[in-house]
């Protein structure tokens, strides 16, 4: 009932948001461009009142949850001193994901990298900055996970095994010599995929595996997220967190962990900060300082674009990763086969953590180093980035200037 109630509320509010958007656009059209001077003449003419109404209308229009993936919007990139055009092409498509290739319009013979995006309530575009940076020196592919509410029920289940299977199939499609890089939640599945491919002597097993801010072993320095996961039994997660996609959607009757539930949890953790951000955005728009408002607009356009998770994947991740710690205990199974990280021999391992990460604490990702005992010592690298939290590990200046060069070095040194 929760999902149906939510959808009904969204349907009722949508005409009002459309009206607010139209009002905002019309008022901005008639207002003079640029910052207001707060002049007596403008105040007397009611200019500030009109600007304030336009700003309020725009803020109302933007306070909406969407369920469609935003655009990556990466038309060009500088690579090897040349400006290269980028074309997004689907290298492989399944009901649950697209292997998306950011193809350059020049043949530069760069290492192929599969970037594994989290399936955690948002779309792969959350890694836009990661992709943009990697494109400078690599041929980049990404797991563009589909919104589960758009996947018809006839396509069946999608759990942790299916997630891992997708990574193996994607690497097989990319071919031998590719590299694997995972951000946050998919670090467990990525290490599992690399292990299984090593166990099978798969010709497309990755040359390098980069794990960034991922929960390999949540017993180490548990965070508030980890504490929540063990504070409730699995029956609570199944009864309280799982809902049914309502009629009217392509995935009607599919059981999911809704993206709007995850978004609500994120918002509640820092509600004061989000309210202040919208107040500042309204003030900037009112004063005609649109460049200052642009950053907040872009952030919330991405933040409010949510994606539902298949119920099987969510529940199996909670149990196997956050409650039972199957991987570090040597008990993780894939379709009846035990996952053995010690089988990895031909893949270099690089782990990255953020000093101030309050989602995946220092020590949880580097735990992979102790599991991959057969990787030669000089092919194992680890890095703790000072001064960054979770998102700073894969976006922002520290990622671009301090972490990325290390990632690039590991990939290029093992690309031959």
CATH topology of domain 76-229+309-413: Rossmann fold (3.40.50)
pLDDT category of residue 41 using cuts at 50, 70 and 90: very low
Dig out the tokens for 316 from the structure: 């199996």
Dig out the tokens for 265 from the structure: 């949890």
Higher pLDDT, 14 or 176: 176
pLDDT category of residue 256 using cuts at 50, 70 and 90: very high
Q: What's the mean pLDDT when you consider all of the chain?
A: 87
pLDDT at 40: 41
Give the H/E segment covering residue 183: strand 179-183
| Under 8 Å between Cβ of 171 and 206 | yes
pLDDT at 65: 74
Residue 17 has pLDDT above 80, yes or no: no
pLDDT in tens, 210-240: 999 999 999 999 999 899 999 999 999 999 9
Strand partners, 352: 212, 383
pLDDT at 43: 42
- pLDDT-wise least confident of 53-62, 90-99, 101-110, 161-170: 53-62
Residue 154 buriedness (CB in 10 A; 0-12 / 13-18 / 19+): exposed
pLDDT in tens, 113-154: 999 999 988 899 999 999 999 999 999 999 999 999 999 999
pLDDT in tens, 103-113: 999 999 999 99
Residue 44 has pLDDT above 60, yes or no: no
At a CB cut-off of 8 Å and minimum separation 6, what does 62 contact? Answer: 297, 300, 301, 304
What percent of the chain has pLDDT above 90? Answer: 69
pLDDT in tens, 335-386: 999 999 999 999 999 999 999 999 999 999 999 999 999 999 999 999 999 9
| Under 8 Å between Cβ of 166 and 140 | no
Give the C-alpha distances (Å, rounded to integers) separating 210 from 29, 187, 214, 320, 380: 48, 9, 10, 21, 10
Residue 64 has pLDDT above 90, yes or no: no
Domain residue spans of the chain: 2-64+259-303, 76-229+309-413
pLDDT in tens, 285-339: 677 777 777 777 677 678 778 999 999 999 999 999 999 999 999 999 999 999 9
| Under 8 Å between Cβ of 127 and 115 | yes
pLDDT at 49: 66
C-alpha 313/C-alpha 96 separation (Å) is 12
Strand partners, 338: 333
- Tell me the whole-structure pTM to 2 decimals: 0.86
- What mean pLDDT comes out for the span 86-108? 97
Return the percent helix, strand and coil in the chain, to nearest 5. Answer: 45, 20, 35
Residue 63 has pLDDT above 90, yes or no: no
Residue 15 has pLDDT above 80, yes or no: no
Give the C-alpha distances (Å, rounded to integers) separating 131 from 141, 152, 219, 387: 9, 29, 31, 22
- What mean pLDDT comes out for the span 155-160? 98
pLDDT category of residue 39 using cuts at 50, 70 and 90: very low
């Amino acid at each position: 009932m929760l999902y149906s109630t939510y959808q009904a509320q969204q349907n009722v509010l949508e005409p009002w948001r459309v009206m607010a958007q139209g009002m905002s656009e019309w008022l901005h059209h008639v207002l003079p461009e640029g910052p207001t001077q707060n002049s007596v003449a403008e105040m007397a003419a009611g200019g500030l009142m009109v600007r304030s109404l336009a700003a309020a209308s725009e803020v109302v229009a933007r306070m909406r949850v969407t369920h469609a993936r935003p655009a990556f919007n990466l038309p060009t990139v500088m690579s090897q001193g040349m400006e290269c055009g980028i074309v997004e092409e689907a290298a492989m498509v399944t009901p649950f994901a697209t292997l998306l290739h950011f193809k350059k319009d020049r043949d530069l013979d760069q290492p192929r990298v599969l970037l594994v995006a989290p399936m955690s309530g948002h779309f792969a575009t959350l890694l836009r900055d990661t992709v943009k940076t990697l494109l400078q020196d690599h041929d980049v592919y990404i797991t563009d996970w589909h919104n589960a509410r758009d996947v018809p029920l006839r396509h069946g289940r999608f759990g942790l095994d299916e997630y891992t299977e997708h990574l193996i199939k994607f690497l097989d499609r990319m071919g031998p010599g590719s590299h694997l890089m995972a951000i946050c939640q998919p670090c467990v599945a990525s290490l599992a995929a690399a292990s299984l491919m090593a166990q099978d002597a798969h010709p497309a097993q990755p040359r390098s595996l980069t794990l960034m801010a991922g929960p390999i072993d949540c017993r180490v320095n548990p965070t508030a997220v980890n504490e929540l996961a063990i504070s409730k039994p699995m029956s609570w997660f199944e009864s309280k967190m799982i809902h049914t996609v309502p009629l009217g959607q392509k995935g009607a009757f599919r059981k999911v962990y809704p993206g709007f539930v995850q978004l609500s949890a994120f918002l509640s953790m820092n509600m004061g900060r989000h309210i202040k951000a919208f107040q500042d955005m309204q003030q900037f728009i009112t004063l005609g300082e649109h460049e200052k408002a642009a950053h907040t607009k872009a952030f919330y356009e991405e933040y409010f674009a949510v994606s539902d998770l298949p119920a099987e994947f969510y529940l199996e991740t909670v149990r196997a990763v956050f409650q039972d710690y199957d991987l570090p205990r040597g008990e993780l199974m894939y379709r009846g086969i035990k996952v053995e990280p010690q089988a990895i021999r031909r893949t270099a391992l690089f782990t990255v953590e953020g000093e101030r990460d309050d989602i995946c604490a220092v020590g949880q990702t580097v735990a992979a180093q102790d599991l991959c005992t057969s990787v030669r010592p000089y092919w194992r690298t680890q890095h703790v980035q000072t001064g960054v939290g979770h998102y700073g590990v894969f976006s922002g200046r520290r990622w671009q200037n301090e972490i990325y060069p290390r990632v690039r070095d590991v990939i290029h040194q093992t690309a031959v």
